[in-house]
Amino acid sequence: MSSSDNPGETLVPVVSVILPVNRDDGFLFQAIESVLHQTLRDLELIIVANRCSDEVWSALGQIGDPRVRLLRSDIGQLPFNLNLGIEHARGSYIARMDADDIAHPERLEIQRRYLDEHPDVAAVGSWYEHIDEQGRRRGMPAPLPLTPEAVRRRLPFESCLPHPTVMARKSALLAVGGYAYGLFAEDWDLWLRLSRAGYRLANIDQVLLSYRIHSNQSTGLRSLRRNIGNVLALHVREFVIQGRPVFFLGAFYYVGSTLLRALISWLRNRLL
């Protein structure tokens, strides 16, 4: 692993934004700019370049903003690279960001204020909208549960904190061991472990991120089977540990809803 920090940056930021990347699909620098143009200025952007090309690494080195810190990793696992970013983070709050999404200008300021005003909450997500490859709005998912109580009730059924929208307390992430290696449902796993450890999770009822849908995202039957297998394993684990039958109901709900969405998508692609 190699790093490229800016030695002139001495102030400790409040928020560390972690952005893993292994290639530029044409949206990377839009994502970076959306972070650097936040109304909250007291931040650092940690870009973890994993298995990226020398061309992408060189382009990242030209950014020139002292708030940007670059890490390079040869390990392709997302949980590893997220933990690497957390390890190097100086902020007390950790914000997630993906390399193809756009953070709305007030996202970090609003989430930081929420966590400051709710010291009992360890992580907060937000509503988001879908955009296409050209940045055109393509609607919003169903509303998310907002309060910690509503989130806890919903967690057995879905990962109801959208991962790219989340800001969390670094201390809470470290207390539960960060992200678990080897999982493809690393976000749902983390929310379950935080909840089981007594931490409270919430969402903000504002659209703070544009989530991009594009052709280079992981899709297909193999990916679907892998995701279902990992999520079922999480439900079995939580039932064994907590003894709550709701996790069996959650498993059936997840498999049924996932297969239904896949079928609808397949039919749409075949008929349109």
Residue 222 has pLDDT above 80, yes or no: no
With bands split at pLDDT 50, 70 and 90, how would you rate the model's confidence at 221?
Answer: low
| Mean pLDDT value across residues 130-140 | 86
State pLDDT tens for residues 18-71. Answer: 999 998 888 999 999 999 999 999 999 999 999 999 999 999 999 999 999 999
State pLDDT tens for residues 227-238. Answer: 788 888 888 898
CA separation for the pair 223, 143 (Å, rounded)? 26
Residue 134 has pLDDT above 80, yes or no: yes
| Mean pLDDT value across residues 137-141 | 83
Query: Residue 144 carries which side chain, given as an amino acid letter?
Result: L
* β-strand pairing of 200-212 with 15-21: unpaired
Report all structural domains of the chain as residue ranges with CATH numbers, in order of start.
2-217 (3.90.550.10), 218-272 (no CATH)
The three-point CA angle 104-105-110 to 5° equals 90
| Mean pLDDT value across residues 195-209 | 97
Q: Are 184 and 226 in contact (CB under 8 A)?
A: yes
State pLDDT tens for residues 20-33. Answer: 999 888 899 999 99
